């Protein structure tokens, strides 16, 4: 696959159903069985990944979504937050990566890296001090990806997935 074939475009409000579908699919693929129970993953998806929530997130001026497209097919997406849209109170001019997901069939094609490069471009345009994120401690592939891109662990926080209290590693990249 030639990376030039990947187009990264902002998600439009009328794309809310596409965003919902890819969000549910990629979250389930990443965190569903065998990593978590069917009950916990479905409870989380049915609470967080619903059309009203996605539509509200799309209309938040401090949140941005981008799709990665390959041949008119969505291959992945990102959600970044600034200001009061960030999921944790963080001091300074910071940017949160809340979601960066690639569809299973397109993993291993460097699409995640292209999406991350888009985040870096946006951060530089906004003169961001550092980019931060939370990543599940039991997701070694993602942790390795972020470390390879210069992120360092600085804290942890708790995250509820259904009835399971999990720990996320908080990581940041100082720009």
Report, as residue numbers or ranges, the catalytic residues: 146
DSSP state of 3: G
DSSP state of 40: H
Instruction: Assign 14 to helix, strand or coil.
Output: helix
Contact 1, 9 (CB under 8 A): no
d(CA 165, CA 106): 30
d(CA 54, CA 68): 18
């Amino acid at each position: 696959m030639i990376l030039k074939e990947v187009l990264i475009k902002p998600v439009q409000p009328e794309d809310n159903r596409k965003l919902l579908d890819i969000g549910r699919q990629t979250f389930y693929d990443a965190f569903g069985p065998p990593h978590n129970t069917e009950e916990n993953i479905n409870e989380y998806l049915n609470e967080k990944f619903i059309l009203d929530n996605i539509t509200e997130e799309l209309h938040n001026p401090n949140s941005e979504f981008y799709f990665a497209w390959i041949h008119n097919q969505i291959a992945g997406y990102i959600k970044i937050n600034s200001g009061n849209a960030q999921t944790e109170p963080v001091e300074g001019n910071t940017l949160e990566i809340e979601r960066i997901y690639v569809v299973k069939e397109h993993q291993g094609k460097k699409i995640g890296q292209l999406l991350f490069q888009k985040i870096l471009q946006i951060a530089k345009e906004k003169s961001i001090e550092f980019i931060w994120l939370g990543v599940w401690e039991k997701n070694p592939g993602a942790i390795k990806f972020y470390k390879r891109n210069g992120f360092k662990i600085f804290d942890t926080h708790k995250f509820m997935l259904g009835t399971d209290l999990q720990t996320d590693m908080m990581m940041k990249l100082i720009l």
